Amino acid sequence: MIEHQVEAGTKQPTHKVGRDWRQRYAYGLMLTDLLVLIWVIVGVQIAWFGLTTSEVTFSGSLSDVALSYSFTSLTLIVAWMLMLGIFGTRSYRVLGTGAQEYRLIADASVRLFGLVAIVAFLFKIDFARGYILLAFPLGVIILLMSRWIWRQWLGVQRQNGEYSSRVLLVGSEASTMYLASELARLPTAGYHVVGACIPNGTVAGYLGDTGVPVFVSIDRLQEAMGQSGADTVVITSSEELSAEKIREISWSLEPGRQHLVVAPSLTDIGGPRIHTRPVAGLPLIHVETPRYSGAKQFTKRAFDLVVSSLLIACLSPLLALVAIGVRLTSSGPVLFRQERIGIDGKHFEMLKFRSMVTNAEEMLEQLKLQHRDKGNSVLFKMSNDPRITPIGRLLRRFSLDELPQLFNVLGGSMSLVGPRPPLEREVDHYDAHVHRRFLVKPGITGLWQVSGRSNLSWADTVRLDLYYVENWSITGDLNILLRTARAVLARDGAF
C-alpha cells in the first residue's frame, strides 16, 4: 500500500502551471496566423498589382476618397486576426482533436469577408475583385494547413505527456478505471490522468492496472491536486456524489487555473449529435437519435455514385493491369466472388481481385487450428497466410484487391465508407447489439480500416463499426477516405 500524504518538511512535486502551456501554444498560433496572413495578403497584393502603388476608391458624401492598397491590406490583416481571436480559434478547448478548430477558422473567415462585402456595398468601395477572390480562399487554406502542422507537433508533445491537462478523476472505481483507460488510449486528446479520488472507496494504492494513484479522500481534493500537479478535475458517475457535493467541488477550484469537467455516462456519441441546453440551472444534454433516411441518405448515395464512377473511369487502366497480372500468375478466375451480409441483413455478392489459391476455403478449417498472432476471435487473419498467392501479397499490401468493390458501390449493395461487410459465419457469433451495423450499407473502407485493421480486437472492431453507424455524416466519410490513403501506405494491419 502506498500513502499519498504530504509529509512535514518534504517538498511537493513541482509542475508547470497548467495555463502556461496553453498561453505559450496560443501565442505560437497567433504568431503563425499573423505570418500566414501577411504572406498571403501582401503576396496577393504584389501578385495582382505588382510593386507599384495602387489605390482603392470609395464615394464619400462630398467627394471620392482614395486609399492605398497597402493600407487596405494592413486593415484586412488586423481585422482577420481580430476575427480569429473573437471566434476562439486559439482556445485550448478546441485544440488537438476534432474538427471544431478548423470550423471556427472557416466561420471567422467567411463572416469577415461577408462583412467586407457589406461595407464595400454600403460605402461604394471599388475593390479589385481579383484581390479579394484570391486573398480569401488562399488565406483560409494556408491557415488550415498551418494549424494542421501545429496539431501534428502538439500530438507528438502529448504522446510524451506534455502540453496536456493534468487530470484528477473523481467518481466510482469502475467509472474512473474506464475513463482512465480510454484517455490513455488517446493521449493526443490532451488529458493526462495523474490521479483519482474515489468516494467511500480505496484511499491508497493504484486504480486497477492503469497505474493511476488513488489519493486519500475527496474531502481533501486540493491536497490531492497539489500532490499530483493536477490542473483539471474530471467528475465521472458515482452514487456518492450528490449535486451539492459536485457544486462544492466546483467552488473549491481556483478560477482561471483549475478546471472542472463532467463526464456523463455516454460513450461513443459523435459531437454533432450532442447539444447542451441549460434549463433551471440544470445542464441538460440533448442527444439526437441517428437518422438513416431522408436528405442525408440521398446525399450519401449521390456521393457514392459520383465518386465511384469517377474512380472506375480513372483507375480503369490499373484495373486492367491487375486483372492481367492475376490471370497470368495463378490458375483460376480473376475475380473472387463471396457472399456477404449487407444492409438490413440482406445477402449480396462482394467482388475482389482473387489474391488466394482457388481452394482457400477448403484450407481454412485446418488453418484455424494453428496458432496465429493476428486477427481476433471472430475475424480470421494470419500474417503469413499460406493461401495467398505471390501477386496476392502485393495486391493486399496496397489494398488493390478491394478495387472491384467500386462496382458494388455503383450497383448500390455497398458504400464507399461503412462498416466491414461480414461473412454469414461471422454474423452467427454476433451479440444482439452488433446487428445495428446492418442499419447502413457496408463500405470498402471505414473506421475499422483506418484504425488498425487486422491488429484490432473483436471488441474494438465492433465499437468502431457501431460508432460509425450511430454518428455517420458526409464530413466524417470524407475524413475516413483521406485517412484510408495513409492507412494503406502504412500497411499496418494489412494481411
Q: Is 415 helix (H, G, I), strand (E, B) or coil?
A: strand
Give average pLDDT by consecutive 10-residue segment, the chain, 495 residues: 37 46 90 95 82 57 56 89 93 81 92 87 72 88 94 91 89 85 86 86 71 80 85 83 81 83 75 72 73 81 94 94 91 90 93 84 64 54 73 86 94 93 85 85 88 70 83 85 78 52
Q: CA 393 to CA 495: how far, in whole Å?
A: 8
Q: CA 90 to CA 313: how far, in whole Å?
A: 43
Is-contact 109 136, C-beta < 8 A? yes
- Longest CA–CA separation in the chain, Å: 93
Residue 16: per-residue pLDDT: 45
Report the relative pairing of strands 165-170 and 125-126 from DSSP bridges: unpaired
Task: Give 274's strand partners.
Answer: 287
- Site of grid cell 467482388: 351
Residue 109: per-residue pLDDT: 93
Q: CA 188 to CA 195: how far, in whole Å?
A: 19
| Residue 311 cell numbers, joined | 474512380
What are the counts of helices (DSSP H) followed by strands (DSSP E) for the chain? 15, 13
Report the relative pairing of strands 125-126 and 55-59 from DSSP bridges: antiparallel
Residue 62: per-residue pLDDT: 41
Spatial CA neighbour of 329 closest among 393, 384, 397, 402: 393
Residue 9: per-residue pLDDT: 33
> What is the reported pTM?
0.65
DSSP at 289: P
Residue 51: per-residue pLDDT: 63
- What are the C-alpha distances in Å from 399 to residues 340, 354, 453, 470, 490? 18, 12, 12, 27, 11
Is-contact 157 185, C-beta < 8 A? no
Spatial CA neighbour of 188 closest among 92, 97, 99, 267: 97
Task: Give 206's strand partners.
Answer: 213
Residue 334: per-residue pLDDT: 92
Domains of the chain in start order, with CATH, are: 18-159 (no CATH), 165-265 (3.40.50.1980), 295-490 (no CATH)
Q: CA 493 to CA 495: how far, in whole Å?
A: 6
pLDDT digits 0-9 by tens, 426-443:
888 888 888 888 888 999
Q: Is 354 helix (H, G, I), strand (E, B) or coil?
A: coil
Rg, C-alpha atoms of the chain: 28
Residue 325: per-residue pLDDT: 92
Q: CA 55 to CA 77: how far, in whole Å?
A: 17
DSSP at 292: -
Residue 105: per-residue pLDDT: 94
Residue 17: per-residue pLDDT: 43
Residue 318: per-residue pLDDT: 94
